[in-house]
Amino acid sequence: MCKYIYCTLIKKKQLQMAIIYTYPSATPSAGDYVLGTQFDNSIKENVTVQFSIANINSLATQGYLETTVTVTNAELTALQTTDKTLIAAPGTNKAIKVLSISAFLDYTAPAFTFANDMLVSLNSVTFGTIPLAIGQAVADTVYSAIPVAGILATNTALLLTTAGAVGGGGGSAMQVKIRYQILDISTTSSF
């Protein structure tokens, strides 16, 4: 027995969808839509609906935060003795989980000299390294650090540090982009 309006038309004439590779290719934008199914509780069935690319993206990155922090020339110069806060301590029972780290050295002569790498850390646990070669670069340089596993301290700021001397009277500044989540361990349901 037919359940849909077009059922009689389908019985009279065999309809076929085009083969997928015959459709033109395109680059999606946030305002575009894709077809999908969604469960409709009122009729207890999946129904075909439209989802916007923006809504799909929002769902896929739910709970992700991103910040870009400028590390001034003066802050880079003083980095051996004064850590730079990249993300403030999130509060009691909350921890910062680093998902990605990128750095952009905006070069201005003269170049810095770094005795050690720059470290992105929580409570002395390193979650990413920006090699000293990036800090000493003599041209604009973009670097992507790979976050590493470690124990996440709660209510602790994410810092940019270095253990060695920073010299050379460098003229550059740096921007550090961090994608992260705040994990709340106050209850098991909020984690």
**What is the model's pLDDT at position 30?**
86
Please name the residues in contact with 135: beta carbons below 8 A apart, sequence gap of 6 or more.
Answer: 76, 105, 112, 114, 118, 166, 170, 174
**What is the model's pLDDT at position 7?**
44
* The residue type at 189: S
Residue 33 C-beta-side C-alpha neighbours within 13 Å: 7
- Report domain extents, the chain: 31-62, 65-184
**What is the model's pLDDT at position 168?**
85
Give which of 149, 152, 148 is closest to 182, Cα–Cα: 152
| CATH 2.60.120 describes domain 65-184 | yes
Which residues of the chain register pLDDT less than 70? 1-17, 188-191
**What is the model's pLDDT at position 191?**
62
Q: DSSP of 76-125, one letter per residue?
A: HHTTTTSPEEEE----TTEEEEEEEEEEEEE--SSPPEESS-EEEEETTE
**What is the model's pLDDT at position 11?**
54
